[in-house]
Amino acid sequence: MPRSQFTRELSVGSTVEQCWEVLTDVPRLVDWVSIVEDAREITHLSRYTAVLMDRLGPFKLRADLEIDVNEVEPPNRIRVRAAGEDRQVGSRLAVDAVLSLRPADEGRTSIQITGTYEVTGRVAAMGAGTINKKAQHLLDDFFGRAEAELGSH
């Protein structure tokens, strides 16, 4: 499967600094993404591990993720790369994402996440449509939780 790109943006009622504090709190973020478990901080804002567990069609995925934070510009920008493999299913997942925070009018903050993801191996046989639908659902969940936590007022 070729790489798929995504971009999402949300305006919230919290300051850039408040958003940064929440959006770099890994244990909190793990609760926002239902398919990620057991996140561990190796080095703060640098290196993490986590387990991705999900069902996609007939496949039950369990991939150990290595997560590297490549670029950090507090409190405005962070770039994260995650990759993992489920050897039993014979599939690999890679994500490269950038979180950007910008001040907006009246004390609001614009949160933008852009990036790419790629799924290869047997799971990719499910087709791009199925995988993209799952990815969109995960982004919806994440941004729904961000909006609830950081305020949409």
Asked if residue 95 lies in contact with residue 119, where contact means CB atoms within 8 angstroms, the answer is no
pLDDT of residue 56: 82
pLDDT of residue 123: 85
Nearest alpha carbon to residue 115 among 75, 73, 81: 81
What's the rounded Cα separation, in Å, for the pair 121 and 78? 29
Residue appearing with tokens 């387990």: 51
**pLDDT for 19-54, tens place per residue?**
999 999 988 888 899 899 999 999 999 999 999 999
* Token pair in block for residue 86: 């489920």
If one compares 108 and 122, the residue with the highest pLDDT of the two is 108
pLDDT of residue 64: 95
Range of the domain at 118: 4-150
Strands (DSSP E) found in 15-90:
36-43, 47-56, 59-73, 77-86
Percentage helix, strand, coil for the chain under 3-state DSSP, each rounded to 5 = 30, 50, 20
Burial class (CB in 10 A: 0-12, 13-18, 19+), 146: buried
Residue 153's pLDDT band (boundaries 50, 70, 90)? low
Q: What is the CATH number of the domain that holds 38?
A: 3.30.530.20
Task: Please state the three-class secondary structure of 73-113 as a single string.
Answer: ECCCEEEEEEEEEECCCCEEEEEEEEEEEEECHHHCEEEEE
What total of structural domains would you count in the chain?
A: 1
Residue 1's pLDDT band (boundaries 50, 70, 90)? low
Q: Mean per-residue pLDDT for 110-114?
A: 97
